[in-house]
Amino acid sequence: MAAPTDTRLNTQEEITARVKALEAMLIEKGVMTTEAVDRLAEIYENEVGPQLGAKVVARAWTDPEFKARLLADATAACAEMGISGLQGEEMIALENTDTVHNLVVCTLCSCYPWPILGLPPNWYKAPPYRSRIVREPRKVLAEDFGFVVPDSVEIRVWDSSSELRYWVLPKRPQGSEGMGAFDLAALVTRDSMIGVAPAASPSS
C-alpha cells in the first residue's frame, strides 16, 4: 500500500516551481532583470510586510483596547488597520511576557503570515531551522541568532500551518516609555515578530 501523500507539501512545491518558471520567463523576455527580481523580493521580505506588522505591534503597545482585540482575534484586529489578504486569512498573535517567550516555525514547509511579515526569510524555510528549533529552541536562539533567553523564561514553540498562522507580539523594550507609535514601530523587526529576536532597544 502506497504511503499517503501530503497535498499541502505538493501544493507548496507546485507553487514554487511555477514562480521560478514565471521568473525565468520574465527575465528571458527582458521584462525584468535578475537584479529587479532580487530587489522586489528584498522589499517584500524586509520592508513592506514587516513595516505593516511593526505598526500593528506599536499600536498594541500604546492602545490596551486594541491589544486586547489583537490577542482575541488577530485577523480582525489587523483588518481594522487595513492589513489582510492571502496567507493571512487566519492569524493568531502570541504575546511575549516576562515569563513566556513565544516563537514560530512551520515544521512541514513555510507557512507564514505574509500580510504582517512580508516574505519568509530563507532560514525560516530551511530544514535545519524547522527541525532544530522544535527540539532545542533555547540553543538555536543563542547559537544561530545571538539571542539568549534566560532559563527562568519558558519558551513555547508554535507550529504554523496553511489553516492557521502564528506571529509574535514582542515585549515592549525598556526605555521606550513616552515614545510615539511611529518611533516605537522602528523598534519592531521581522525577527522579533517571528520570535527569534527581541524588539530593538531605543538606545540602539
Query: Is residue 2 a part of any domain in this protein?
Result: no
The catalytic residue among 84, 110, 161, 162 is 110
Question: How far is residue 199 from each of residues 4, 132, 186, measured CA to CA in Å?
Answer: 42, 23, 9
Return the SS3 of 96: coil
| Grid cell 513566556 in the structure block, residue | 100
Is the residue at 45 inside a domain? yes
Marked catalytic residue, from 78, 106, 160, 192: 106
The answer as to whether 49 is a domain residue is: yes
Report the CATH number at residue 128.
3.90.330.10
Residue 103 located in a structural domain: yes
Cell digits for 199? 524588539
First to last CA, the chain: 58
Q: Is 106 a catalytic residue?
A: yes
Where is pLDDT greater, at 64 or 29?
A: 64
pLDDT band at 149 (very low <50, low <70, confident <90, very high): very high
Phi and psi, residue 181, nearest 5°: -60, -40
- Asked if residue 28 belongs to a domain, the reply is yes
pLDDT (average), residues 165-177: 96
- With respect to residue 47, please indicate whether it lies within any of the assigned structural domains: yes
Number of helices (H) and strands (E), helices first, in the chain? 11, 4
Q: Is the pLDDT of residue 30 over 90?
A: no
How many whole angstroms from its chain centre is CA 2?
Answer: 35
Tell me what pLDDT residue 19 has.
66
Q: State the Rg of the chain over Cα.
A: 18
Residue 172 placed within a domain: yes
**Number of domains making up the chain:** 1
| Residue ranges making up the domain that contains 72 | 8-194
Given the residues 78, 109, 176, 192, the one annotated as active site? 109
Mean pLDDT over 84-89 rounds to: 82
- Of 111, 160, 176, 192, the catalytic one is 111
20, part of any domain: yes
Least confident of 1-10, 94-103, 155-164: 1-10
pLDDT digits (tens, 9 = 90+) for 91-142: 999 999 999 999 999 999 889 998 899 888 999 999 999 999 999 999 999 9
Annotated catalytic residue 111: yes
- By three-state DSSP, how is residue 123 classified? helix
